[in-house]
Structure 1
Amino acid sequence: PYPCRDCGKAFKRSSLLQAHQRVHTGLRAFQCPHCGSAFKWASHYQYHLRQHTGERPYPCPSCPKAFKNSSSLRRHRHTHTGERPHPCP
């Protein structure tokens, strides 16, 4: 295992340890070429880039709408099914 020197958390691969260390260092390795915003995580950077490009790679199979991330699509699909995953108290 690869232990973190800062908190002791262990990882199976060195690449996972390197990604984890950004939590402690604050390193923002992913910088937007359009506006200069910087991100710790590649997934946040990719989502941000879609703000500039307008890309919506998650289409709804039931209607013409498309979304920038899978969680937005998942939430939208409830409008077609009528499912309410979080009932009111």
Structure 2
Amino acid sequence: HTRTPKTNKKSYKCDKCGAGFTKNSNLTIHNRIHTGERPYECKDCGDRFFQSGHLTAHKKIHTGEKPYRCDNCGALFVDKRGLRAHARIHTGEKPYKCDICGETFRQSITCTRHKLTHTKTKPHGCDVCGARF
């Protein structure tokens, strides 16, 4: 048995926005941003999510559980991801950079959404009138 060295090569590219991923499964999840697919549904309220982990965190809203506390200000969060993103408010860190205009962001999803402003892509649609945005 030999171990393959871990690589950070992002060989899976999104054909819509150019985002790169190290695993095809991450690209599949990412593509849901463009298609609007949200296969994970909350049985309590009907909200839908494109990642199962986001549904898991969301369910804590219904129970009131917020086990992750910010050491700086005491703010509470339902998951580690939320706490990490929040912590950047205190540090000023903006690790996600738009490769088109150079603007930086605290959260990956904010950067991803921003990149769509540079394209004609309109991944969201209104169920009532059909307008795209």
What percent of counterpart residues are identical? 37
Q: Which has the larger radius of gyration?
A: 1
The yes-or-no answer on 1:85 pairing with 2:67 is: yes
Q: How far off is 1:35 after superposition?
A: 2.2
Give deviations 1:34-82, integer Å, cap 9, x for gaps. Answer: 2232211223212210110011111101111001111211111011112
| 1:57 corresponding residue in structure 2 | 39
TM-score under structure 1 length normalisation: 0.65
| 1:34 corresponding residue in structure 2 | 16
Give, in whole Å, the separation in 1 of the partners of 2:18 and 2:61: 36
Give, in whole Å, the separation in 2 of the partners of 1:60 and 1:45: 23
Residues 36 and 84 (structure 1 numbering): CA distance in 2 closer, same or farther, change over 3 Å? closer
Structure 1: 5+ residue runs without aligned partners?
3-9, 11-16
**Structure 2 SS opposite 1:55:** coil
Tell me which of the two structures has the higher relative contact order, counting C-alpha pairs closer than 8 angstroms and 6 or more residues apart. Answer: 2
Structure 2: 5+ residue runs without aligned partners?
75-133
How many residues get paired?
A: 71
C-alpha RMSD of matched pairs (Å): 2.0
Q: How far off is 1:30 after superposition?
A: 1.2
Give deviations 1:11-32, integer Å, cap 9, x for gaps. Answer: xxxxxx3xx54x1xx4322121
The yes-or-no answer on 1:47 pairing with 2:45 is: no
Give, in whole Å, the separation in 2 of the partners of 1:43 and 1:85: 28
